[in-house]
Amino acid sequence: MHLLEVECLGKPLKLEGSMAGWQQLFWGEQCVSQIDASAAANNDDALEGTPFSHQFTLQSEQGDIQVDLSGGLNWQPFKLQFTLVVNDQQIEEGTLTEKDIEQRQVTQGKKQPMKFSFIGMASLGLKLLKSAKVIKVLFAAGSLAAYSWLFSIEFAIALILCLVFHEYGHIKAMKYFGLKTKGIYLVPFVGGLALSDDKINTRWQDIVISIMGPFFGLILSVVCLLAYWVTDIEILAGLAVFNALLNLFNMLPVLPLDGGHVLKSIAFSVNSWVGIIACILGAVLGVFISYYFGLALLGFLLAIGSLEIFFEYKRRHLSELLPLNRYAQLVSVVWYVVTIGGLSAIIWLVGQTGNDALSLPLKILGS
């Protein structure tokens, strides 16, 4: 991941590194120094403060210039102390914490010159459609029509309400971290998507953004259940349990569901192999649940999640996300358990009333 960037002799000096001990130092686009993961015994558990030193020589008309970037790096909690020395003269020093990494804007690659092609024109047309919000409207109309055809218009409206409220939780979390959002897309027979223009920098951002959708779903179910107790309108109980079950499904520790992202961020913050094993076990659990309950949607999502696990394995030593510290790991586990417990409690409470609200959402997940 991108650790540090400072100005040095007219060019940016950028330090990249991973929990495995691997580091690379770039002056402009040129790699001037490297520390291999083997230097840290390829140990993903080397999270305590370790010193580092990058020294290199630059050629100039005035002679050789000696540059030394040194300091200490602690992963959990994250703390980077550095000192930049040029020709025995200290140029800059400082300290970076997790907040500094979290608030850093991810730089995008250089834009390539535009070339004419049918694919490019199609892509441009798609972007224009997106900017005009036509795609959102078409997807929303398609979702409403699809669910109305399968069930009823009343149920379709209730389902879309649940999906939008869930995705709004993701959007609120993205905005909390200062990320630019594209909005909510309703995809027929799949659900909803909350998209952002920006990339995240930390595992904590991934946790909060992932879990806020189901957490907002929990809030909606609680409100519906309270309204049912006050008014005795049975449809409110059905909406409460239906929404709770959909969000509980989303909290399964299976990629690419929200629960899978929570599991991935916690496990990869321990070390990369724990992350890979945890994601594989989650996929196995997903296969069992999909087969046992006949959930066709979960089977489809598992195929997407398998690709995500594969790419995580390929880049296990090159993660661009800052790992969770021990406190954040504990908070994430507690938040996950509380959300699952709350959703399960709502389903149990409605089930005690003899309400047959569980059959419909199970039918949807299996369709």
DSSP per-residue codes, 240-305? HHHHHHHHHHHTSS-TTSHHHHHHHHHHHHH-HHHHHHHHHHHHHHHHHHHHHHT-HHHHHHHHHH
- 29 pLDDT band, cuts 50/70/90, is confident
| Most confident of the following: 50-59, 202-211, 239-248, 344-353 | 202-211
For 216-248, the pLDDT digits (tens) are 999 999 999 999 889 988 878 888 888 898 899
How many angstroms separate the first and last alpha carbons of the chain? 41
List the chain domain ranges. Answer: 2-102, 119-366
Q: What is the pLDDT of residue 72?
A: 87
Is-contact 80 4, C-beta < 8 A?
A: yes
Q: Is 153 helix (H, G, I), strand (E, B) or coil?
A: helix
Spatial strand order in the sheet of 11-17: 2-8, 11-17, 23-27, 30-35
More confident residue, 247 or 289: 247
For 321-348, the pLDDT digits (tens) are 788 888 899 999 999 999 999 999 998 8
Is-contact 8 17, C-beta < 8 A?
A: no
Q: What is the pTM of this model?
A: 0.74
Please compute the mean of the pLDDT values over residues 246-266 and round it to a whole number. Answer: 89
Q: What single DSSP character describes residue 113?
A: P
State the Cα–Cα distance between residues 177 and 167, nearest whole angstrom. Answer: 16
More confident residue, 352 or 184: 184
